[in-house]
A and B are shown apart, each in its own frame.
Chain A
Amino acid sequence: MSVVRMRWLRIMTALTVVAVVLVACATPAAGPGQPAAAEPAAATGEVARKDILVVPSNVNIPAPDIWNPYIPGTFILQGMNQNMMEPLFMLNYETGNIDGWLAESYEANEALDEWIVTLRPGTEWSDGTPLTAEDVVFTIELLKEYAPQLNWSGAVQQWVETVEAVDDRTIKFTLTGANPRFVMENLAGTTSQAIVPLPKHIWEGQDPVTFKNEYDEATGSPVFSGPYVVKSFSSTEFVYKRNDNWWGAKSGAFNLPAPLEIHRPWVADQATAQQMLVNNESDVGGGSSPSTNAALQAQNDKLIAYTDEPPLGWIDPCPRMLTLNSTVAPWDKKEMRWALSYAINRQQIVDVVNEGAGATSNFIFPAYEALRPYQEAINDIVAPIGEFNQDKSRELIESQGYTLDAGSGKYVDASGNPLTLDIVLPPFMEPWARMVAQQLNEVGVDAVLRILEWGVFRDQTGRGQFTAATQWDGCGSVIEPWFGMQRYHKKWVNPIGTPGTEYVDNTNNGGRWSNDEYSALIDQMGALPLGDPQVTELMKQAVTIWVDELPDIPLVQTPVFYLWNTTYWTNWPTKDNNYVQPPGHWQHFLRQLVEIQPAQ
């Protein structure tokens, strides 16, 4: 037989084999909403689907075997942050309390420069070694020694003079100065993560800048103290198994989490992730709007939302803002910033972009219960920010020498140059930004959008190389006003072209607004203990200056539309059962793990 014919026969044979395999590999159909049929049990080995918690992730991790949380840029949201590492404390947005986790209590001296932290009894690492005050001291000293190369090292270097183990359970922090928020900001974490202890017996002698803390089945590495340990991993999926010997359950501090395993598959496409939820192939997810959630719930009545009533979603701690670069003319004039604020119809954004969910925003605070007293104290001061008044907007623009060009319908300066506003934004901010640009164009500002990839957006806004940006520069306050407000302190202003100081995805004072009086008031607030009555008065004075100058333009509160699947797991943190904030990628997810219950 000829060579060519032989080749063709091979190709045809291969095609036939593939066709047969295609048919053979097809699995039986099951309707949406029905429990995922036989395939998960077969796919997951010995553990049944009902004992597995499936949490899809939209992040592919190219180098999955790095378990060092302190190397800058290391991904920790693959489960390391939520299942494995444990903080000393946990800031609970719902109650406004700083709950103990590894630690049971803290206290400060009167000068607020010495803090004593006491660990719970019986804390252990996942390999059974006791977790003691020595481990905490080791971690803090490691961060201090390797500053500025490690995450959190800047804060430790700035604030911690010395740290010592008083006994196995007691740690004494001596600070470089008074800091009433030392525990809350660093050991509890105001948002998704806090400083977590590292096991000294593993990390001692390692270079923490290069140490990967790789997986090793024999030794149980990576060793942390959380209720789950690594079972398997790849760039597309992480599987964790429960540590039945977890200290938290043994000591009686917490329930042993019910899921035997947690699977975190990478699902790049949001529609696929949503359909997995409908098909009971995952337990946590959500839509991008109330209507998406409703559509998903219509397909599977086991899906529950955070709330079915206004604001129709959980309010994220970071309200959306239109940030103006205060160093760029004409936006360096407060009149021009106010003109933009008056031109924005925030209620329309809520109605159209958020489909009626969430609420308008007239300052940097999220609508949280713990912040309500502070928000109420400044309601009168910030009220003008919520005003939609195109006439006032035009009046202010014209007061700065601009005239409306009848032909284009846009304002021009004395030289005939149009009044333009270049707004940069990352892709996911487009719906809000597009409506803002439309509203600004209506009053005669030639606002255009420039969508940038996230890394580029971050870089340009951080360096101050932008005119306007839609982002969330003011967030940070969740139970008290100081943290978010201090982000507008003049100390954060760096020269244009120099990266700024970051917090939660954005830059402190990215708009580079500098005000001596405001900064002095912030300094005074910062020195007072949490809950001190003087804080409110100082806050009101600072807010008055902020509102007058309007360095950042608040837009709307940010609703997040969580959906949970109750086919296999119940007792999710809904609005009526708000034992902790609901994000699934934060460290607070540990609390959800010990609370959720099997449905079957």
Chain B
Amino acid sequence: MRGVNVSYFVRRIGMFVLVIFVAASFNFFIPRLAPGNPIGAITSRMGQASAGIENGQAMFEAYRQRFGLDDPLYVQYLKYMGNTLRLDFGESLSAYPSRVWDIVGPAIGWSMGLIGVSVLLTFGLGIIIGALLAWKGTPELVRALLPMTMFGGVLPYYLLAMLLLYIFAFTTRLLPMNGAFDSGIPKGLNWPYISNVISHAILPASSIILTSVGGWALTMRSLMVNTIGEDYMLLAEAKGLHRARILWWYAVRNAIPPQLAHLAIALGHVVSGAILVEIVFSYPGLGYQLYMSIVNSDYTVIQGITLILAVSVGLAVLLIDLIYPRLDPRVTYVAESSG
């Protein structure tokens, strides 16, 4: 592969494995340092359901034993690492006897759909807006309007989400208020269902896009300013190339690579979802499940989600690292031979 040799590749993979190992270990110990305990959360929910619990202590001990929480910590850790290697996160403590994958699996799809698409759209819009803001040939009217896209950046997700809800769902009722699809609609790969899902995603996606597009645009504008000052830009103009070609092919293309690294990390975080947005819009993503698992001290679900998060971020960074020399020929991890 251009710019990457075997030695670098092996070192990079080794680093990835080490990062995942450390993350998995933190993942095991940190929830156990927090106050609260999972069995207490279970009996608490029994109380909410008003089930009779005359035998609290006996039940507590029975389930501690069933979940292996009475084992010494090192035994729990070794079991956990062994299971993690097999991608087996075990049973959920708060939704027993469901397995962690039963909970995490469906939520990943919704998060990737909503947050993934939102991040990609934000990226695309940020690139375009940033490029146009830096480009001298941009019409004045467009240049005056584009900074308005930054307004959303001053609002937190949550507040903008409430505002959008009020305008488009509460008042005008143009879009659905909550959920991922309408009540009772048959699920399947058909247009009524797909369009319904899209219509439910518009408001949560908009709240994410509008609050973060400004950041991408500002970064892109800075990168563009540097790029526009390069000699090859002057040469392109001197050659009489079309201005649009100079903008998109010479300036934007060379300004994008640093943004791609940022995009890789942002996409890696997709699986963690956007907790507040998911709560406001009752969207069944992974962020909300992570929040609930923390509230319920559901160690196994916390471990499952955070490990997926660590792996996805690590993998995204690894991939961008390895393909970066392909994207930007100026970058190479191969030492130049002397002489």
Across the interface, do B282 and A268 meet the contact criterion of CB distance under 8 Å?
yes
Across the interface, do B50 and A501 meet the contact criterion of CB distance under 8 Å?
no
Q: B175's closest neighbor in chain A, by CB?
A: A26
B96 contacts across to A, CB distance below 8 A: 71-73
B125 contacts across to A, CB distance below 8 A: 15
Q: Report the minimal beta-carbon distance from A79 to chain B, rounded to whole angstroms.
A: 13
B62 contacts across to A, CB distance below 8 A: 148-149
Across the interface, do B179 and A72 meet the contact criterion of CB distance under 8 Å?
no
Q: List residues 7-61 of chain A with CB under 8 A from any CB of chain B.
A: 8, 11, 14-15, 18, 21-22, 24-27, 29-30, 39-40, 42-45, 47, 54, 60-61
Binary contact track A142-158/B, C-beta < 8 Å → 1, others 0 = 00000111011111011
Let me know if B207 is at the binding interface, CB within 8 A.
no
Across the interface, do B63 and A72 meet the contact criterion of CB distance under 8 Å?
yes
Binary contact track A214-235/B, C-beta < 8 Å → 1, others 0 = 0000000000000000011011
Binary contact track A262-274/B, C-beta < 8 Å → 1, others 0 = 0101111101100
Given contacts A26-B175, A275-B177, A454-B295, contact A60 B284 (CB under 8 A): yes
Let me know if A578 is at the binding interface, CB within 8 A.
no
Let me know if B195 is at the binding interface, CB within 8 A.
yes
Across the interface, do A236 and B179 meet the contact criterion of CB distance under 8 Å?
yes
Q: A460's closest neighbor in chain B, by CB?
A: B35
Selected from B53, B183, B296, the residue in CB contact (under 8 A) with A265 is B183
Segment of B39-47, B72-80, B148-156, B331-339 engaged in the interface with chain A: B39-47
Let me know if A77 is at the binding interface, CB within 8 A.
yes
Q: Report the minimal beta-carbon distance from B258 to chain A, rounded to whole angstroms.
A: 16
A209 contacts across to B, CB distance below 8 A: 66, 97
Let me know if A237 is at the binding interface, CB within 8 A.
yes
Segment of B18-26, B166-174, B214-222, B308-316 engaged in the interface with chain A: B166-174
Across the interface, do A26 and B199 meet the contact criterion of CB distance under 8 Å?
yes
Q: How far is the CA of A254 from the CA of B157 in the complex (A)?
A: 49
Q: How far is the CA of A8 from the CA of B128 in the complex (A)?
A: 10
Task: Please indicate which of the listed interface residues B43, B96, B182, B183 has the most CB atoms of chain A within 10 Å of its own CB.
Answer: B183
Q: How far is the CA of A367 from the CA of B56 in the complex (A)?
A: 29
Task: Please indicate which of the listed interface residues B63, B95, B180, B282 has the most CB atoms of chain A within 10 Å of its own CB.
Answer: B282
Given contacts A21-B195, A499-B57, A502-B53, contact A453 B36 (CB under 8 A): yes
Given contacts A40-B183, A71-B96, A72-B46, contact A272 B178 (CB under 8 A): yes
B41 contacts across to A, CB distance below 8 A: 73, 455, 458-459
Q: Report the minimal beta-carbon distance from A435 to chain B, rounded to whole angstroms.
A: 25
Let me know if A392 is at the binding interface, CB within 8 A.
no
B177 contacts across to A, CB distance below 8 A: 267, 272, 275-276, 281
Q: List residues 137-179 of chain A with CB under 8 A from any CB of chain B.
A: 147-149, 151-155, 157-158
Across the interface, do B282 and A236 meet the contact criterion of CB distance under 8 Å?
yes
Selected from B40, B66, B179, B202, the residue in CB contact (under 8 A) with A237 is B179
Task: Please indicate which of the listed interface residues A65, A75, A153, A279 has the most CB atoms of chain B within 10 Å of its own CB.
Answer: A153
Across the interface, do B183 and A54 meet the contact criterion of CB distance under 8 Å?
yes
Given contacts A76-B49, A455-B41, contact A237 B106 (CB under 8 A): no
Across the interface, do B279 and A499 meet the contact criterion of CB distance under 8 Å?
no
Q: How far is the CA of A457 from the CA of B19 in the complex (A)?
A: 34
Q: Report the minimal beta-carbon distance from B196 to chain A, rounded to whole angstroms.
A: 7
Let me know if A4 is at the binding interface, CB within 8 A.
yes
Given contacts A236-B180, A263-B184, contact A192 B173 (CB under 8 A): no
Q: How far is the CA of A235 from the CA of B107 in the complex (A)?
A: 9
Q: How far is the CA of A448 from the CA of B56 in the complex (A)?
A: 30
Let me know if A289 is at the binding interface, CB within 8 A.
no
Given contacts A462-B40, A500-B56, contact A455 B183 (CB under 8 A): no
Let me know if B85 is at the binding interface, CB within 8 A.
no
Given contacts A151-B46, A272-B178, contact A63 B57 (CB under 8 A): no
Across the interface, do A269 and B280 meet the contact criterion of CB distance under 8 Å?
yes
A586 contacts across to B, CB distance below 8 A: 50
A152 contacts across to B, CB distance below 8 A: 51-52
Q: A61's closest neighbor in chain B, by CB?
A: B95
Let me know if B7 is at the binding interface, CB within 8 A.
no
Interface size class of B (residues with CB under 8 A): 35 or more
Selected from A155, A279, A506, the residue in CB contact (under 8 A) with B173 is A279
Selected from A11, A263, A268, the residue in CB contact (under 8 A) with B183 is A263
Let me know if A505 is at the binding interface, CB within 8 A.
yes
Q: Report the minimal beta-carbon distance from B277 to chain A, rounded to whole angstroms.
A: 11
Q: How far is the CA of A546 from the CA of B295 in the complex (A)?
A: 35
Binary contact track B174-192/A, C-beta < 8 Å → 1, others 0 = 1101111011111000000
Across the interface, do A45 and B186 meet the contact criterion of CB distance under 8 Å?
yes
Across the interface, do A44 and B63 meet the contact criterion of CB distance under 8 Å?
no
Let me know if A252 is at the binding interface, CB within 8 A.
no
Total A-B pairs in contact (CB under 8 Å)?
Answer: 272
Given contacts A45-B185, A75-B45, A189-B50, contact A25 B195 (CB under 8 A): yes
B37 contacts across to A, CB distance below 8 A: 459
Let me know if B165 is at the binding interface, CB within 8 A.
yes
Let me know if A345 is at the binding interface, CB within 8 A.
no
Across the interface, do A499 and B184 meet the contact criterion of CB distance under 8 Å?
no
Q: B205's closest neighbor in chain A, by CB?
A: A18
Across the interface, do A459 and B124 meet the contact criterion of CB distance under 8 Å?
no
Let me know if B142 is at the binding interface, CB within 8 A.
no
Let me know if B94 is at the binding interface, CB within 8 A.
yes
> Which label, helix, strand, loop or mixed, suits the secondary structure of the B interface?
helix
Across the interface, do A148 and B124 meet the contact criterion of CB distance under 8 Å?
no
Let me know if A245 is at the binding interface, CB within 8 A.
no
Task: Please indicate which of the listed interface residues B52, B121, B182 has the most CB atoms of chain A within 10 Å of its own CB.
Answer: B52
Q: How far is the CA of A72 from the CA of B93 in the complex (A)?
A: 10
Across the interface, do A267 and B44 meet the contact criterion of CB distance under 8 Å?
no
Q: List residues 56-112 of chain A with CB under 8 A from any CB of chain B.
A: 60-63, 65-66, 69, 71-77, 81
Q: How far is the CA of A263 from the CA of B98 in the complex (A)?
A: 24
B55 contacts across to A, CB distance below 8 A: 147-148, 153-154, 157-158, 501
Let me know if B288 is at the binding interface, CB within 8 A.
yes
Q: B297's closest neighbor in chain A, by CB?
A: A455
Across the interface, do A45 and B184 meet the contact criterion of CB distance under 8 Å?
yes
Q: A157's closest neighbor in chain B, by CB?
A: B55
Q: List residues 81-102 of chain B with CB under 8 A from any CB of chain A.
A: 92, 94-98, 102
Q: How far is the CA of A455 from the CA of B170 in the complex (A)?
A: 33
A429 contacts across to B, CB distance below 8 A: none
B232 contacts across to A, CB distance below 8 A: none
Selected from A5, A15, A153, A232, the residue in CB contact (under 8 A) with B124 is A15
Across the interface, do A25 and B183 meet the contact criterion of CB distance under 8 Å?
no
Across the interface, do A506 and B183 meet the contact criterion of CB distance under 8 Å?
no
Q: Report the minimal beta-carbon distance from A428 to chain B, rounded to whole angstroms.
A: 12
Q: Report the minimal beta-carbon distance from B204 to chain A, rounded to whole angstroms.
A: 12
Across the interface, do A455 and B182 meet the contact criterion of CB distance under 8 Å?
no
Q: How far is the CA of A26 from the CA of B199 in the complex (A)?
A: 7
Across the interface, do B44 and A504 meet the contact criterion of CB distance under 8 Å?
no
Q: How far is the CA of A47 from the CA of B169 in the complex (A)?
A: 23
Given contacts A71-B96, A72-B63, A499-B57, contact A18 B44 (CB under 8 A): no
Let me know if B146 is at the binding interface, CB within 8 A.
no
Selected from A44, A47, A62, A153, the residue in CB contact (under 8 A) with B92 is A62
Selected from A44, A61, A157, A193, the residue in CB contact (under 8 A) with B184 is A44
Given contacts A15-B124, A237-B183, A460-B35, contact A73 B45 (CB under 8 A): yes
Q: Report the minimal beta-carbon distance from A302 to chain B, rounded to whole angstroms.
A: 17
Q: List residues 237-279 of chain A with CB under 8 A from any CB of chain B.
A: 237, 239, 261, 263, 265-269, 271-272, 275-276, 279
Let me know if A534 is at the binding interface, CB within 8 A.
no
Let me know if A441 is at the binding interface, CB within 8 A.
no
* Sample (10) of A-B pairs whose CB atoms are under 8 Å apart: A21-B199, A24-B195, A47-B184, A72-B59, A73-B94, A235-B284, A237-B184, A269-B178, A272-B282, A458-B40
Q: What residues of chain A have their CB less than 8 Å away from a CB belonging to chain B?
A: 2, 4-5, 8, 11, 14-15, 18, 21-22, 24-27, 29-30, 39-40, 42-45, 47, 54, 60-63, 65-66, 69, 71-77, 81, 147-149, 151-155, 157-158, 185-186, 189, 191-193, 195, 209-210, 212, 231-232, 234-237, 239, 261, 263, 265-269, 271-272, 275-276, 279, 281, 452-456, 458-460, 462-463, 494, 498-506, 586
User: 3 closest pairs, A vs B, by CB?
Assistant: A154-B55, A154-B54, A63-B98
